[in-house]
Chain A
Amino acid sequence: MEEILRGRVHKYGDNVDTDSIIPGRFLKEMDPKKLAEHAMEGIDPNFVKKVKPGDFVVAGRNFGCGSSREHAPIALRYAGIKAVLAKSFARIFYRNAIDGGHLIPIEIDDSVYDKLSDGDEIEVDVSKGIIRNLTKNEVYNIRPIPELVMKIIKAGGIFMFRYEQ
């Protein structure tokens, strides 16, 4: 796991569902790169054109609600997203992101969400638990990542976690 992530913010609202992250008709697709071509298509058809490797999705409450499709974190991962910063995550998306080793789901307070603007360049130091907003020259805290979750993230996914025991 990279300790310090750096990229730009792509900001969305509450209840971004997995149909919006990757529409159901693509669930038969087995190639992750093809899934990535349609990432966020349901909510932001321009997402794939503007996203750059290392960028962040910032969202409100209940990010990734709906279907259990692991295609959602996979599509974001292969589109270049390393972490999603949200007020809260729907439980299956949260697990999939961690156990599949796809990306880091990071919980943030409402006030941090409010301070992050679309296009801001930020640096996230996962171990220290801080976000540096390079555009606005501000520093925020992330909510602590639970111990088990941190271990699985550092291992690179649930299978690797098991095998490092």
Chain B
Amino acid sequence: MGMTVTEKILARASGKRTVSPGDVVFANVDKVMMHDVGGPGVWAVFQDLKPIIGEVEKIWDPDKVWMTEDHFVPPIDKQSAENIKILEDFAKKYGIRKYFRYGLGQYGVCHTLSYEEALVLPGEVYVGTDSHTNTAGVVGAFAAGLGHTDIAYVLVHGKTWFRVPETLLFKVDGELQPYSTAKDLSLAIISEIGTDGANYKAMQFSGSAIKAMDVDERATLTNMSTEAGAKNAIIEPDERLLQYLRSRTNSQLTPVYGDEDAEFFEVYDIDARTIEPLVAKPYSPGNVSSARELSDVEVDRVYIGSCTGGKITDLRMAASILKGRKVKVRTEIVPATQKTYMQALKEGLIEIFLQSGALVGAPTCGLCFGGHMGVLRKGEVCISTTNRNFPGRMGDRESKTYLASPLTAAAAAVTGRITDPRDLGG
């Protein structure tokens, strides 16, 4: 029996000829990511474990580790400033050179950096201190989020354990219609399989609709897989992806593909033409309606940003709606990384946003998790391009977040209510 791409990567990484779903393997790790929440956590684990493992003098391979400051940056208070210092000291002590710092050039949301900077390559095993680490599966890597004890263990030993996941294959054929996006497709899938529909499993995406997407849009799919509980999400590399990476790295690319006779736990055939603009209502990414059904919902705020919805493609979509229009409700737009920000500036998107009345902020994860900037008050209603809308996610536990595509969020910014972008009119 053949193996899926996920199984092949885990077999290679654990030195086995074959693996099957359910096997537990110790896999060698190729890349590790830490940010300003996970990094200080790892540091704390090293301190706590001193009596047991002694002082950690060096880590397994500093060249395989990269770090970014993204969650509480620029620092919001003394504690978050101290955490940045911990990250700086950590980089220095262990010789981590790939370190993206705010106010010092390229930095920003870790998951966008993971492929924008070609930090993760096809066929690699990549782990990070964040649940949306799955995003990097867009390059055909096995990418999974872990907690900080697990990451600390990888930093010392260079490996970790995985139960080989079953793979759910989503074959998406046909063309996405105008104003329908990868975000809408993601919400449709989560609505169908549930927020634990892929728990402990791999989600693989293929088909002509996926091939037609640019890398940012594909990354929305791998990113949102976390909201279905997936261990990892993966898209086998095509020429478009390989070219994208080649323009960003000189490293040799060795893509891995699943076998022809690979066995999938389940195959979902999806007709992209049926996907329309969708919105996830509070308080679950699986609580999905069409945007049209919600056209009487008034919103107080619009947020366009994050690893899910602050990429250059997302900003282009938002600008296509906001161009020549004024926002009616408070709108915050945050490019995912400094490079994304610069690209948006070059393309005139930032001017469109500012002319519309929206606020444009510096790259940060802050708004998405109610940690930094734009925190929602009690009862406040926000439509957001982010990935989850649990109670209190963006602020007060009685605030409400609706999740949507950048097109749908921008349409709401213009009308002040949830609006199908197809209904916006001239």
Contact = CB atoms under 8 A, between A and B. Distances in A.
Interface of A: 15, 17, 19-20, 23-25, 27-30, 42-43, 61-62, 65-71, 73, 88, 90-92, 95-96, 99-101, 146, 148, 157-160, 162-163
Contacts of A146: 24
A38 to B, nearest CB: 11
A68 B147 contact: yes
B40 A66 contact: no
Nearest to A43: B391
Contacts of A15: 195-196, 284
Contacts of A28: 37, 71-72, 76-77, 79-80, 83, 371
A27 to B, nearest CB: 5
Interface stretch (B148-156, B302-310, B346-354, B409-417): B148-156
Contacts of A17: 388, 390-391
Given A25-B375, A27-B37, A92-B147, 16 more contacts: A19-B370, A23-B370, A23-B392, A24-B369, A24-B371, A24-B393, A28-B80, A30-B79, A42-B391, A62-B199, A65-B229, A90-B229, A91-B231, A99-B150, A100-B150, A162-B157
Contact of A70 (B24, B83, B148, B153): B148
B268 interface: no
B284 A70 contact: no
Q: How large is the interface on B (under 10, 10 to 19, 20 to 34, 35 or more residues)?
A: 35 or more
Contacts, number: 132
Contact of A99 (B80, B147, B156, B231): B147
Nearest to B397: A42
Contacts of A19: 369-370, 388, 390-393
Contact of A25 (B49, B371, B391): B371
Given A25-B371, A67-B369, A68-B129, A159 B49 contact: yes
A157 to B, nearest CB: 7
Contact of B53 (A24, A88, A95, A163): A163
B45 to A, nearest CB: 8
A62 B196 CA distance: 6
B149 A68 contact: no
B272 to A, nearest CB: 27
Contacts of B264: none
B83 A30 contact: yes
B79 A68 contact: no
Contact of A159 (B82, B129, B153, B393): B153
Nearest to A67: B131
Contacts of B80: 28
Interface string B24-62: 100000000000011011001100010011000000000
Contacts of B44: 30
Contacts of B41: 70-71
A68 B35 CA distance: 12
Central interface residue in B77, B153, B284, by most chain A CB within 10 Å: B153
Given A29-B79, A42-B397, A91-B200, A99 B149 contact: yes
Contacts of A27: 37, 71-72, 369, 371
B145 A92 contact: yes
A62 B229 contact: yes
Contact of A62 (B53, B79, B195): B195
Contact of A20 (B37, B195, B392): B392
B161 interface: yes
A61 to B, nearest CB: 6
Contacts of B37: 27-28, 69
B13 interface: no
B149 A70 contact: yes
A28 B69 CA distance: 12
Contacts of A160: 52
Contacts of A90: 196, 199, 229
Nearest to A72: B147
Contacts of A30: 40, 44, 79, 82-83
B95 to A, nearest CB: 22
B175 interface: no
A27 B129 CA distance: 12
Contact of A158 (B38, B133, B150): B150
16 contacts: A27-B72, A65-B195, A68-B131, A69-B147, A92-B146, A99-B153, A157-B149, A158-B149, A158-B153, A159-B49, A159-B52, A159-B53, A159-B149, A159-B153, A159-B156, A162-B157
A150 to B, nearest CB: 12
Interface in B66-118: 71-72, 76-77, 79-80, 82-83
A92 B38 CA distance: 14
A88 B199 CA distance: 9
B287 to A, nearest CB: 10
